[in-house]
Amino acid sequence: MSILVVGSVAFDSVKTPFGEVEEVLGGSATYFSTSASYFSGVKLVAVVGSDFPDKHLDSLKKRGIDISGIKKVDGKTFRWKGYYDYDLNQAHTLDTQLNVFSDFDPDIPSAMADSKYLFLANIDPELQLKVLEQVKSPRLVACDTMNFWIEGKPDVLKKLLKRVELFVINEGEAREFTGEASLVKAAKKILDLGPNTLIVKRGEYGALMFNGTSVFSAPAYPLEEIYDPTGAGDSFAGGLIGYLANSGDLSDDNMRRAIIFGSVMASFNVEAFSMGRLGNLTNEEIRARYYEFKKLTRFEEL
């Protein structure tokens, strides 16, 4: 079963304590699609400018991603510039240029409108809503966002959340969005807005899932070398939704497996800048790391 995703396709300029890159391939939908492509078919809807090189489109296509929903228009591609200090959980944005996304009006081709799995990756919530309105009867609608939109368009975001089943958000953003320091209280407030499952991404501390009846805590993989956390959240979502779409099983047990696959993909992503590691994995590496996660959290009954 394939996934329809809308989100940013971007040029990122990133500095971390371990290196620096200028105008490399990035964007929420790029990281999501690359990650999800190891599990399931992906159809990507986005817009890029005339400065976007074909080699980037080819690299997405090579991963089997359907790029027929990427429009190339006159103008400049979305750009994001940021840096991280030694606390790699905290991205500091220096510049966000929406460029061609400012007047993007997504028009979902009919062949994509009956997608059963929809991921609204981080982008203007108005665009996320416009895409959602065109998808006929999705089985699972999931979405992500960030402080830029929480601060800029909180009401649109709340309107969107009424129609979303699975919401993934960073720990700091969950606190900012709800005004609650306790993640348990923040989760209750967010679940009251509409989603039936919330996943809070906690960077190097893993992820927490809340669904109103149970809480699941997944660790992050203890890596020795981390180069760049950019895209960790989106590659997490790619592994998560990719695995759910492939298995077709939305039960609590399977959601837990999917969260571990999300964590596996995020752990690979941070090992290099841009798609340096995420774009070149093997299924064996992914499976082996899944079992490393199992060993990491195994303990015996009393």
Chain residues binding ligand AMP by CB under 6 A are: 8, 10, 12, 26-28, 31, 80, 96, 122-123, 146, 148, 230-234
Task: Choose between 232 and 244: whose C-beta lies nearer to ligand AMP.
Answer: 232
Task: Choose between 70 and 137: whose C-beta lies nearer to ligand AMP.
Answer: 70
Task: Choose between 99 and 122: whose C-beta lies nearer to ligand AMP.
Answer: 122
Task: Choose between 73 and 250: whose C-beta lies nearer to ligand AMP.
Answer: 73
The amino acid at residue 192 is D
Task: Provide the 3-class DSSP secondary structure of residue 170.
Answer: strand
Task: Choose between 66 and 234: whose C-beta lies nearer to ligand AMP.
Answer: 234
Task: Choose between 195 and 233: whose C-beta lies nearer to ligand AMP.
Answer: 233
What is the closest distance, in whole angstroms, from the C-beta atom of residue 120 to ligand AMP in the complex?
A: 11
Q: Where do we find the tokens 């960073």? A: 170
Rg (CA), the chain: 18
What is the closest distance, in whole angstroms, from the C-beta atom of residue 121 to ligand AMP in the complex?
A: 8
Distance (Å, rounded) from C-alpha 49 to C-alpha 45?
A: 14
Taking the alpha carbons at both ends of the chain, their separation in whole angstroms is 41
What is the closest distance, in whole angstroms, from the C-beta atom of residue 271 to ligand AMP in the complex?
A: 14
How do strand 10-16 and strand 19-26 relate by DSSP bridges? Answer: antiparallel
What is the closest distance, in whole angstroms, from the C-beta atom of residue 48 to ligand AMP in the complex?
A: 12
Distance (Å, rounded) from C-alpha 266 to C-alpha 259?
A: 10
**H runs (alpha helix) in the chain:** 28-36, 54-62, 110-113, 125-134, 147-152, 154-161, 171-178, 183-192, 232-247, 252-269, 283-297
Distance (Å, rounded) from C-alpha 166 to C-alpha 143?
A: 7
What is the closest distance, in whole angstroms, from the C-beta atom of residue 33 to ligand AMP in the complex?
A: 12
What is the closest distance, in whole angstroms, from the C-beta atom of residue 49 to ligand AMP in the complex?
A: 14
3-class SS string, 180-201? CCCHHHHHHHHHHCCCCEEEEE
Task: Choose between 8 and 115: whose C-beta lies nearer to ligand AMP.
Answer: 8
What is the closest distance, in whole angstroms, from the C-beta atom of residue 231 to ligand AMP in the complex?
A: 5
Task: Choose between 26 and 279: whose C-beta lies nearer to ligand AMP.
Answer: 26
What is the closest distance, in whole angstroms, from the C-beta atom of residue 110 to ligand AMP in the complex?
A: 26
CA angle (8, 9, 14) in 5-degree steps: 95
Distance (Å, rounded) from C-alpha 299 to C-alpha 266?
A: 24
**CB 170 within 8 Å of CB 146:** yes
